[in-house]
Amino acid sequence: MTILYLNAAVMTPQGLEARDIHVRDGRIAAFYPSGEEHRARKTMDLQGQLVTPPMCDLQVNGGGGLMLGACQSVEDLRQIVDAHQSDGVAHILPTLISDTEEQIIRIADLVAAARRDGLWQIQGLHLEGPHLTRAGAHDPDMFRPLEMADLALYREIAAKVGRLMITLAPELVPVETIAELTRAGIIVALGHSECDSETAWAAFDAGAHCATHLFNAMSGLDHRHPGLAAAALARGTFGLIADGIHVHPDMLRLAGRHHSGAFLVSDAMAVAGTDLDQFHLNGRRIERRDGRLTLEDGTLAGADLTLARAVDIMTRASGLPRVQVISMATQVPAALLGQPKGLTIGRRAVFQAWPTRGKPRLHLPDGWTDQPPLG
Supply the residues annotated as catalytic.
267
Residue 11 has phi, psi (to 5 degrees) of -85, 105
Q: Which among 28, 87, 46, 98 has a CA at the least distance from the CA of 63?
A: 87
Question: What is the rounded CA–CA span in Å between residue 271 and residue 66?
Answer: 8
Residues 6+ apart with CB under 8 A from 130: 98, 99, 100, 138, 142, 143, 144
In angstroms, the CA 362 to CA 371 distance is 10
Q: What gap in Å lies between CA 318 and CA 5, rounded to an integer?
A: 32
Q: Which residues lie closer than 8 Å to 337 by C-beta, 6 or more apart? A: 56, 58, 91, 93, 123, 124, 163, 187
Helices then strands, counting H and E runs in the chain, come out as 10, 22
**300-336: b or e for each residue (b if 16 or more CB lie within 10 Å)?**
bbbbbbbbbbbbebbbbbbebeeeebbbbbbbbbbbb
Q: Is the dihedral of CA 259, 262, 268, 272 positive or negative?
A: positive
Burial class (CB in 10 A: 0-12, 13-18, 19+), 297: exposed
Contact 318, 253 (CB under 8 A): yes
Q: Could you tell me which of 236, 239, 185 has the C-alpha nearest to residue 215?
A: 239
Distance in Å from the first CA to the final CA of the chain: 14
DSSP letter (8 states) at residue 279: E
Closest CA to 131 of 177, 182, 184, 180: 177
